[in-house]
Amino acid sequence: MSEKVYIPLYTITDKIVNLVSAITEIITKLMINDDMTNIPRLLEDNRIRTIHASLAIENNSLSLDEVIDIINGKKILGTPAEICEVKNAFEAYNRLLEMNPYSVKDMLLAHKVLMNELTKEAGTFRSGGAGVFVGKQLVHMAPPANQVPHLIKELVDWAKKAEVHPLIKSCVFHYEFEFIHPFAEGNSRMGRMWQTLLLYKWKSLFGWLPIETLIRERQDEYNKVLDECDQSADSGKFVEFLLKAIYEVLCEIADTEQVMEQVTEQVERLLKVIGDKEFSTKELMELLELKHRPTFRDNYLLPAMDIGYIEMTIPDKPNSSKQKYKMVKDIEQ
């Protein structure tokens, strides 16, 4: 008798088909127009925002600025556990893209890095039962611990062999991973990370795409859709939810790209004159030989600040008479 092949249950709707088509179209345009890896500041910012959003979903109270300070080695006021979460997540995401999404060994290693010093079972599958609670209500009872290694192997094997579009496959994997709940702690973080890795192996821009920021803004809907899929034993709605989040964040990036293309020449001129010094608005206008303040503000200064290349010297007092502007230093690795 042949062994039964594991196939996750999900319904591909017209909405899913349309979203896959729209996402693929945007990705094609982005990759034709520009190589996003040529903008290190933008990539680093998105990576850090992804880490911050992922931890915020798990109730980490640190702000984005505090997360940046921790990554840069600065001391902040925060609980040891929250600080450890940031350091671990940064290290895990730095190593993630070199991992094999179809390797259970790599998955365990990623969990070990992500949950180091946060749980005694870091890097190992859970040894006991697990349930997902909303408040005091149990909304999902995970499979028994002794089934976890087998279920994860089946899921990974399916992801490796299934002839399913990578966008759909990554979403189904995410759902099935959360259903199995293979670890004592850190399952949601790992599920989102592993979806990023699966997508990255398809298209490299997903290595830094901040999908998690969209999930954070819709956290209640995220949990609700997971519950609905559990009840129906079909992850189709979860696939729709995540594809919509991916589509929306890609639209934001496409809009940013369009703005950058329109202002590149002016921003480049501004960057050349500012160098490593600090200048006031008046001084910069003189250096650029501009007399119309709104033109300088709208076509030079604000676009450069939006992209993340120029910053205020007194950000807490934007209208200060002593305000000057300087080049943003890259975040230290």
Going by the DSSP 8-state scheme, the letter that residue 308 receives in this structure is T
- What distance in Å separates the CA atoms of residue 137 and residue 131, rounded to the nearest whole number? 10
Read off φ and ψ for residue 76, nearest 5 degrees.
-135, 165
User: Which segments of 107-195 are extended strands (E)?
Assistant: 131-134, 137-141
Four-residue CA torsion sign, 272, 278, 283, 284? positive
Q: Is 134 annotated as a binding residue?
A: yes
- Enumerate the β-bridge partners of residue 133: 138
- What distance in Å separates the CA atoms of residue 82 and residue 68, rounded to the nearest whole number? 13
Q: Is 161 annotated as a binding residue?
A: no
Q: Is 135 annotated as a binding residue?
A: yes
CB neighbour list of residue 144: distance below 8 Å, 6 or more residues apart = 129
Q: Is 136 annotated as a binding residue?
A: yes
- Active-site residue, from 52, 111, 174, 181: 181
Q: Is 150 a catalytic residue?
A: no
∠ CA 242-95-170, nearest 5°, is 20
- Annotated binding-site members for ATP: 134-140
Q: What residues are labeled active site? A: 181
- Annotated binding-site members: 134-140
